[in-house]
Structures are given as C-alpha cells and as structure tokens.
Structure 1
Amino acid sequence: MENIYDMHLEKTEANYEPLSPLSFIKRTAMVYPDRPSVIHGDKTYTWKETYERSVRLASALHKMGIKKGDTVAVMGNNTPETYEAHFGVPMCGAVLNTLNIRLDAEAIAFILQHGEAKVLFTDREFSDVTKAAVARLERKPIVIDIDDALAEGGELIGQEDYEHFISKGDLEYDWSGPADEWEAISLNYTSGTTGNPKGVVYHHRGAYLNAIGNALDWNMQQHPVYLWTLPMFHCNGWCFAWTLAAKAGTNICLRKVNAKNIYEAIEEHKVTNFCGAPIVLSFVINATEEEKKPFEHKCSIMTAAAPPPASVLKAIQDEGFDVTHAYGLTETYGPAVFCAWKEEWNELPIERQAYQKSRQGVRYTLEEGLMIADSETTIEKPWDGESMGEVCFRGNIVMKGYLKNPTATDESFKDGWFHSGDLGVKHPDGYIQLKDRSKDIIISGGENISSIEVEDTLYRHPDVAAAAVVAKPDVKWGETPAAFIELKPSAGSVTEEDIIKHCRDNLAHFKCPRTVIFQELPKTSTGKIQKFILRDGLRKEAGEL
C-alpha cells in the first residue's frame, strides 16, 4: 500500500544522480584548477590539465569506435597515462582493465582474450611481454604505446603513441557518467588460485564509495601528497586513483620503488601518504644512512597482506612513520577492513601495539557487513577469538561478480554473503584476525601466488616425484614461496638451483620458490600432503610459533 512518503516523491534528475568517481575529477578541476595533480619526473600537471587530458582520451576512444561496455586494457607503470586512464576510459562508457605488469606473456594473453580488450595501451618498457602476448591472440586489440621518458629499454610496438592519440580527442567532448551506477567501471584479474585468473568486475557505485572510504577511514587530510609505491594496476591502486581526485591531492608517480626514491620523494614533495605490501616497509627500514632523508611532517603508511612484526613496527615508528594495517581482496575493491586505532592503545608497550595492529580489524565505514562464519552454513561464529571460520563480506564495496563465470560468482555469493576463502577469528571487541588462507594462497610483495600453479610447474620437472609449496615468512616480502620436494628414486644430483631455474624458465619470476627443501613429505593415511605441518615448521624457524 502506498504511503505518504511515496506520493509524488519520485526519483528525478533534480534529486538523483548515479554515483561515480568520475564526478570527483570534474569537481576538483573546477574548484582547484591550478593545484598540482600529477608529478612525474620533471613533469607537473594541474588538475585542470589532468581533467582535460582525460576528456581528450575519452573522446579519442569514442572516435575510434569504443562504446559502452567495451574493454580497454592498460599495461602501464605508475605514470600519468595510467592515472588518466582511470577517468578517460570510463568517461566514454568503456571498462578499464589494468594489467599486472609482472605477469608472463601467457597470462597476459589469457586476460586480454577473456576480457575481450578492444584497445591496449602499453608502456614501452613492457614491449617484449606485450608483443608476445598479442601474438598469441586470434582477435588482436589496437595497440597504442606509452612512450615514457623514464622507461628503461623496450621498443614502440603500437600503431601510434599515447600523446599523438589523445591529441586527436575533442576537449569539448560531451561525456557523461553512467546511466546506472551498477554499470561496470573496471575489470581486475585475480592471480588465479586454481588455474586461470578470474575477472573481477567493479561498478561505479563501489568505486565511488571505496574511494571515499579510503579517505574517511585513513583520516586523509585535504590536498594529501600521495606517493605511488603501490602499483596502479592492483585493484585500481586500491581505489586511491579516485580518492586522490576526491581530495584534490597530488599524485607523485614512482616507476621504481626503492628506499632511495621513497626518501627523496618524501623530502622533495613532502609526501603525506603512501601504501604498499610489507616489502615497502622493508625498503624504508633497511635504507642506508645515505638514502635516508630527514623529515618533520607526518607521513602515514597503509600496509596490507602479512601484518608487520613488532620489530618492523617499532623500526617504522622510530623513523617517524605512522602505520595502518588493512585487509581486503580484489573482490572487495582492495582494502575493506582496517585496524581502527584507539588512542588508549598508544600507552601500550610496543609489542602489544604490534599485536593490536596485527589484527586485520573492523569493516570500512562504507562496507555494510563483515563476519566470521561457518563456510558451509554461513552461520556466524562466536566472538571469542578462538572459533575459526571464513571471512565473509556484504555491502556496496563487494564486486559485481566474476566475468563470464556464473558458477564461481554464485558460489562466492552463497547465502547472501561474499565468501572470501580466508579463515580467521573475531575477538570480543569485534576485530577480526586472519589465521589461515584457504587454497594455500601465498601473498608475496602484495601479489597473490597460487601454490597449485607453482606445484604444477614443479611436477613438470623430470626428477620430481612429489611437491608442496607453502608460504615462508619473510621480513622483506611478507611471504615467499617455499618448495618441499620428494625426488624420484632414479633422480640424479638435483640441486636447489636446478629447481629454481626450472621454475624461472616456466613461471613469472615473482611466483618462483626462493627456498627449496628436499625431504619426505608428511601425508595423511589417504596420501594427502599435510601442508600445515610444513608451514608451521617454517613459522617456528621464523619465531612466529
């Protein structure tokens, strides 16, 4: 039955607009046209210029026939071109697919084919991998080069370069946001836990809300100076590409992430924020005295993946940085959980502070649900810090689903919750803490590595009888793959170096084991390898158990 609040109170153009992060850059270009938006080497763009370049990109894509729902891929580094693509591609209705530049040609080819990319922008430095990937495709995208002056090596392989391409765009192009905020804005691929990676589809509403959530829950100041130590290709830079436009901040691009470049950027640009995996913390801590630069302003770091150990946390704080630990997945637009800090915890000993920060925490303000549940029944587990279950999410910053994969989508959305596959507990104060990862995913340097994929490669070695790959704690990378190998009786003299070389010949290098141990593998009575025994042994060696 209609009530008084439904009578002539319809949604109209005057009172409803679909949410989209594209609105952020339009507003900021109007309000702060002359503020610096992107700095890359000796180039500095203003927000007016970045907006205009994004519009030209959208127009140029439109002129070449790119339409709503088409996929535009970018094999790009942290450069102005990759940043502009986060606005210019969806401005013409297309869907942005940023590619993991660390993948091999076979994986890139699969993604381009599965995502049906019509156009591919590629950084000159990655031309070898890109050329090999495109050569594998029956339906080839139009290739356009990003000819960055700071790129090392490579060649131009496209039909034209980016600057020439956007110069053909019309500055007066009448772009518009999505007609429905549920429309896709980007496509991001997981690292693939059991075979090929899955295409995670983001919508405009989720991108808008998580961009705001980043600023809100991290207490980012207006006009932050953000250093791109996190790859822009990873979950669209955890949605910070759009956050910076909302906050009218300055993007400091960084092609090479190392201690020297981080400290120089902090000193030169007065960086206020940067993100990254534990390896970024390692760079900062292990910087030489020559690399370190003094700074007096507050600089905040958001780190994800493996929680920082007490020694790392103390070392980071001693250097003048403030660390926030976060957690999320590609399927949740990047970080959707963070360790909301409480002032009274500042009085705790550093070891206790480290424990508090090691807990993944509570849901983002703009996420609606987070619980630890029984994987089968989706019934919530007690808040006792001991009852282990699956981490489940619900809300507007959960993906639309997996591209062309209805079975996986339906399975992940079982009982009205997104099932992450990660296992954890919830403490009495409502903070969750991860305890294990299903499917034995290894997170190294912020990148997911499938143990199954590595094991499949190991089994292709002629002398390997059995193999198990598990995560080994690592101060620099958070985790690295460790391979436990049983050799065939007929095997000759096989060394650790032989196994690692075999993997490097067949896998992207970041996925390869850094440690190889030859031993009999622990098995159940049915012959299943007991990985937890191997993993726990490595954790004991590292002092984590």
Structure 2
Amino acid sequence: MPPTAPDVTSDSPGFYALALQDPQRIAFIGPEGDQSTFGELGARVNRISHGLRALGVGNHDMVAILVRNGREYLELALATLQIGAYIVPINTHLAPPEVAYIVKDSTAKVLVAHADLAEHLDGEVGGLPAHRFAIGGEVADWQTYPELWSDQPEDQPGDRAMGAIMNYTSGTTGRPKGVRRPLSGLSPEQEAPLAARHFSTLGFRREGVHLVCSPLYHAAPGAFAINALHLGHTVVCHLKFDAEAVLRDIERYKVTTSHMVPTHFHRMLRLPEEVRSRYDLSSIDSLIHAAAPCPVEVKKQMMEWVGPKLYEYLAATEGGMSQVTPEEWLAKPGTVGRPQPGTTLRIVDENGDEVPVGQPGTIYFSNAGQAFEYYNDPAKTAAARLDGLSTVGDFGYLDEDGYLFLLDRRTDLIISGGVNIYPAEIEQFLITHPSVQDIAVIGVPDPDWGQSVLAIVQPSPGVTPGEALAEKLQAYCAEGLASYKRPRRFEFRDDFPRTEAGKLQRRKLRDEYLGTS
C-alpha cells in the first residue's frame, strides 16, 4: 500500500480569506522581482470581479485571457473564479485565427490580452467580444486594462460562488475543444480545503513557496499556482524556463514546490556540475511532474541529486488518472502510480471489455464529482465515454498491485517539451497548400524536447520535392500555425501506407522514420 501523506492542508482558508486575515504576507514575486502581498492581490482581484460583473458577466459565463506569465494571469483567474464564472486561458503562441476560434467557440463575454498580442487580433479576425481590454499599452478598438477595474471598489463582491477553469484541448481529429466541468455551487472558502486536500498527497504543506517555470495558460501550471495561493504559498513566477535561473531562485526564495516536465529535468541535469553544485536546493519538499513520460534514468538521476522528492501523476485536461510518490516509484521504476481515492480506472480492449492484469489496453477513468463535457460538442463527449468512464486515448496496463504503466501517450499525440501537439491539426492546415498532395505528421525523437514534429509530404503532380519546397512549406506554416506546432523537418515520398478504407497507418510511418531525426 502507498504511504498516506499527512493531511496538513485541509484546513487552509483559501486565498480570498487569507487576503483579509494576513494581508501583509507575500503572495506573488514576478519575473522582474516585483512583489505583491495577499492584501494587494486580493484588492485587485475584488476590483476586477466588480468590473466583470458590471459588464454582465454572471454565473457560468466565460472570460477569455491571452496573457503571459505574471500577476495579471492570477488576478484575472481569481477574480473570475470567485463570481461563479469560467476563466478560459489561451495559449499565447497561437496564431490569430487559432485565438479567434477559441474566443468565439467559448462564447466569451470578455477578452483580456497583452497589448502586443491584442494588436495582431485587431482588424484581422472576427468574432471577438465587444468587451476587450489590452494590458500594457493602447490598441485601437480595445479598452486599456485599468479601465476594467480602476473605478471599482476593493471589497469582496456579494453572492460569491466558485467558478472553474475551462482549458482548451485538442483531439487527433480536429479543432480544440473546451473541457468544461459543472460548478460545485460552493463558496470559495468551502471549496479551497477540498482542493488543498489533494495537494497534500503531492508533497505540499502549508505556507511554502511555489515556483512557476511553465506557461500558466497550460492546465496544470495554472491550477497548481492558484492552489498554491489557496494554501498560503508565495508564488514565484518565471516568464519561461531557464535551468540555472530555476536553481538560483530555489535557493534565493527557499522554494518548496514546483511543477515541471521531464524536459526541464533533462536541461537541469545537462548543466555543468560546478553550476549544479553552486545552489542549495535543500528547501525543496516536492518537484511534481507530468505532461510526458519521464525516462527512468532521468528520474533516477534527478532523485540522486535532489533526493526522493519527485512526485508524478498521469492526467489530461479532462481529468486525473493516477499518481505516485517517490518511494512507490523507486520500488516500481517506470510506473505512473495508482488511482487516488475517488478515481476509477479501467483498462479495456478494442471491444470495450476489461483486460486481465498485465495486458495492455486503452485507459478509461472517472473522477468523483469531476465529470466533464467538451463544450459545444456532445458528439465528442459521447465518443469518449464508456459505461460512465472517459478516455483520452492513453494506452497502458495495470500490474498485479494495481500500479499503472503507460505505454503510449495517445496513439498519435506528439509531446514536445511537455506540450501536446496534435498531428491532425497540422495535417489539416498543410493539406490546403497547393503543392501538397498528401500529408502525414508524426513525432520523432529529439534529444532536447523529447519529440519534434516531422512532416512527411507527397508533393502535388508536377511539384519537385526538395529544400526549396520545404522552405516554401515552412513559410506557409508560419502564417497560420503556432511556432511550437510547425514541423522542424520535412521529408518527401510518393505514397503513404493506408488501409483498404483509406485510413492512414501512422504507426507504420512512425516505425519507418523512428530514429531518423
């Protein structure tokens, strides 16, 4: 049986209460060293809540944000959450049409964006809400960010109820969809202890320091930062990951927890020994990781360095499946853990029948009280269901002790630097180029990122394959795809392996090209 973590967090009053009870405590330290207390952050959060209400944002409404790591993300999220609305974080690297699709699909009543990102949306795409606010500058037809909150009171709004985050995630068959969960109807103070209880199983304690070194618009880093505040932690926020800067700030601020991905571990381990040994990491209670399979040797090296302090979990935007303590993992290297209380896990074959222990299959799961739906897409929601359970297509098996081992993180998904990249989305974009007859996108090994994107192209008749065509397609991708989705490499071939029904046999392509990066 896994060890039971002491429930040291369940009595946490949550951020909103702490802002009143302990207003001088430091809540946030920004990328430039700027600091905010719980009282200061709480006052801004309340003013934004009043401002959103004045614009007609009510229970179950959507507020979309296109903001980089910083105080604005947290204050907008916390403000939206305490008035029973949904916050919709958008990847800041998306191309304008991709941003516009999410804003429109989410039916957001308000959009807040950094000015340099907002100006690319202005005049280029339609479907944006009438209420738009730009942070850090003026943009035509947008109001400035202070206009959202500057005339509003600092007291808590009335009729408070906890909202939720609605992150967008894509499948292998098209556009991204919002993952929406029903609201609890509880007050923020009622819900905070429930969330905090889970984090105690991942090595969190009261009143620590949490380091953010991944984009807050991703589901896990944003949720971990918000819940760290609910636990009374100071959140130290980096704009982007820098291996030595992470070590520096762990020592400087006595960081106790951080959420990372295996690529971060790889980069820290590649630092020269004299750099790694320069910093005191003894304050760390837990480094939590997910988002991609972590190579066993990398995880072993990390634990030899920082101690048995790496907690891992398997989850998707749709929900959590399992988690594992350092001690459990050392006893069963490679496992992603066991289901937590309230989580049901089942491994099934292609007919939907449960498979025996040790036999691989598709992972289905459910989280008590955390049912989800794909917003505006009941067909996709239904397709992911089986007897009340859901799947995101992960493939794995359970051992005789109930520990889960992941074999394939979705059949076609590419995970680069901990970020999910969906081949179908890239294929659907590239197939519109007149020089492309057929297209397949796969992930190939990358020593730094884990995987990188390879586009395999069948040129249109009369089009010559080669470097000139690759450069033309790269330029085309730059017009409509986020930078992390663009293929690092193009290969050309005359045909593709397909079934008699015409379905692309991507696994055969992966087998053929594996190791050619």
TM-score (norm 1): 0.82
Hey, what does 1:15 align to over in structure 2? none
State the distance in 2 between where 1:253 and 1:25 align: 17
State the distance in 2 between where 1:114 and 1:427 align: 41
* Within-5 A mapping of 1:149-160: 156=139, 159-160=142-143
Instruction: State whether residues 86 and 166 of structure 2, in contact with CA within 8 Å, keep that contact through their aligned partners in structure 1.
Output: yes
Instruction: State whether residues 67 and 93 of structure 1, in contact with CA within 8 Å, keep that contact through their aligned partners in structure 2.
Output: yes
- Cα 1:459–1:411 shift into 2, 3 Å: closer
- State the secondary structure of the residue aligned to 2:387: helix
Instruction: State whether residues 208 and 242 of structure 1, in contact with CA within 8 Å, keep that contact through their aligned partners in structure 2.
Output: no
- State the secondary structure of the residue aligned to 1:169: coil
Hey, what does 2:60 align to over in structure 1? 69
Residue 397 of structure 1, CA deviation: 5.9
Percent of pairs with identical residues: 27
Do residues 363 (structure 1) and 346 (structure 2) align?
no
Instruction: State whether residues 398 and 418 of structure 1, in contact with CA within 8 Å, keep that contact through their aligned partners in structure 2.
Output: no
Question: What amino acid does structure 1 have at the position aligned with 2:451?
Answer: E
State the distance in 2 between where 1:21 and 1:74 align: 31
State the distance in 1 between where 2:173 and 2:435 align: 24
* Within-5 A mapping of 1:47-62: 47-62=38-53
State the distance in 2 between where 1:413 and 1:58 align: 36
2:217 to 233, 238, 242: 233
State the distance in 2 between where 1:399 and 1:102 align: 29
Residue 529 of structure 1, CA deviation: 3.4
* Within-5 A mapping of 1:47-446: 47-131=38-122, 135-138=124-127, 140-147=129-136, 156=139, 159-178=142-161, 185-205=164-184, 211-212=195-196, 214-235=198-219, 237=221, 239-287=223-271, 292=276, 293-299=278-284, 300-320=286-306, 322-332=309-319, 335-342=320-327, 346=330, 356-365=332-341, 367-377=342-352, 379-384=353-358, 387-396=359-368, 398-438=370-410, 440-446=412-418
Instruction: State whether residues 90 and 99 of structure 2, in contact with CA within 8 Å, keep that contact through their aligned partners in structure 1.
Output: yes
Instruction: State whether residues 221 and 259 of structure 2, in contact with CA within 8 Å, keep that contact through their aligned partners in structure 1.
Output: no
State the distance in 2 between where 1:253 and 1:282 align: 21
Question: What amino acid does structure 2 have at the position aligned with 1:451?
Answer: P
Question: What amino acid does structure 2 have at the position aligned with 1:320?
Answer: V
State the distance in 1 between where 2:205 and 2:393 align: 34
CA deviations over 1:421-468 (Å, ceiling 9, x no partner): 222111212111222244612122232222112222333344433322
- Cα 1:130–1:21 shift into 2, 3 Å: farther
- Cα 1:399–1:281 shift into 2, 3 Å: farther
Instruction: State whether residues 200 and 399 of structure 1, in contact with CA within 8 Å, keep that contact through their aligned partners in structure 2.
Output: no
- Cα 1:414–1:289 shift into 2, 3 Å: same
Instruction: State whether residues 306 and 479 of structure 1, in contact with CA within 8 Å, keep that contact through their aligned partners in structure 2.
Output: no
Residue 21 of structure 1, CA deviation: 12
| Segment of structure 1 superposing worse, 154-163 or 70-79 | 154-163
State the distance in 1 between where 2:409 and 2:294 align: 17
Instruction: State whether residues 484 and 521 of structure 1, in contact with CA within 8 Å, keep that contact through their aligned partners in structure 2.
Output: no
Instruction: State whether residues 18 and 232 of structure 2, in contact with CA within 8 Å, keep that contact through their aligned partners in structure 1.
Output: yes
- Cα 1:71–1:218 shift into 2, 3 Å: same
Instruction: State whether residues 313 and 321 of structure 2, in contact with CA within 8 Å, keep that contact through their aligned partners in structure 1.
Output: yes
State the distance in 2 between where 1:491 and 1:415 align: 50
Residue 164 of structure 1, CA deviation: 4.8
- State the secondary structure of the residue aligned to 1:448: strand
Question: What amino acid does structure 2 have at the position aligned with 1:56?
Answer: R
State the distance in 1 between where 2:299 and 2:512 align: 24
Instruction: State whether residues 212 and 238 of structure 2, in contact with CA within 8 Å, keep that contact through their aligned partners in structure 1.
Output: yes
| Segment of structure 1 superposing worse, 57-66 or 243-252 | 57-66
Hey, what does 1:486 align to over in structure 2? 458
Question: What amino acid does structure 1 have at the position aligned with 2:209?
Answer: V
State the distance in 2 between where 1:267 and 1:256 align: 18
TM-score (norm 2): 0.86
Hey, what does 2:419 align to over in structure 1? 447
Hey, what does 2:490 align to over in structure 1? 516
CA deviations over 1:373-410 (Å, ceiling 9, x no partner): 23543x322122xx222211112363431212222222
CA deviations over 1:473-524 (Å, ceiling 9, x no partner): 2332222222223345633242244443333333212111223333455625
Question: What amino acid does structure 1 have at the position aligned with 2:288?
Answer: M
Residue 268 of structure 1, CA deviation: 1.9
Hey, what does 1:151 align to over in structure 2? none
Residue 243 of structure 1, CA deviation: 1.6
CA deviations over 1:131-176 (Å, ceiling 9, x no partner): 36xx4224533111222xxxxxx86456443345322221234333
Question: What amino acid does structure 2 have at the position aligned with 1:341?
Answer: P
* Within-5 A mapping of 1:439-478: 440-478=412-450
Question: What amino acid does structure 2 have at the position aligned with 1:146?
Answer: I
- Cα 1:458–1:49 shift into 2, 3 Å: same
CA deviations over 1:22-46 (Å, ceiling 9, x no partner): 9621232344332211111232112
CA deviations over 1:322-344 (Å, ceiling 9, x no partner): 43332211111xx542223336x
State the distance in 2 between where 1:168 and 1:403 align: 34
Question: What amino acid does structure 2 have at the position aligned with 1:201?
Answer: R
- Cα 1:236–1:428 shift into 2, 3 Å: closer
State the distance in 2 between where 1:423 and 1:393 align: 12
- Cα 1:399–1:340 shift into 2, 3 Å: same
Question: What amino acid does structure 2 have at the position aligned with 1:362?
Answer: R
Question: What amino acid does structure 2 have at the position aligned with 1:503?
Answer: C
Residue 74 of structure 1, CA deviation: 1.0
Instruction: State whether residues 360 and 433 of structure 1, in contact with CA within 8 Å, keep that contact through their aligned partners in structure 2.
Output: yes
Hey, what does 1:533 align to over in structure 2? 508
Question: What amino acid does structure 2 have at the position aligned with 1:303?
Answer: H
- Cα 1:457–1:111 shift into 2, 3 Å: closer
CA deviations over 1:306-362 (Å, ceiling 9, x no partner): 222244224433543643332211111xx542223336x65x7xxxxxxx4532222
Hey, what does 2:479 align to over in structure 1? 505
Aligned length: 496
> How large is the RMSD of aligned CA atoms in angstroms?
3.0
Unaligned runs of 5+ in 1: 1-19, 148-153, 349-355
Instruction: State whether residues 192 and 230 of structure 2, in contact with CA within 8 Å, keep that contact through their aligned partners in structure 1.
Output: no
- State the secondary structure of the residue aligned to 2:165: strand
- Cα 1:124–1:254 shift into 2, 3 Å: farther
- Cα 1:243–1:251 shift into 2, 3 Å: same
- Cα 1:214–1:474 shift into 2, 3 Å: farther
Instruction: State whether residues 98 and 233 of structure 1, in contact with CA within 8 Å, keep that contact through their aligned partners in structure 2.
Output: yes
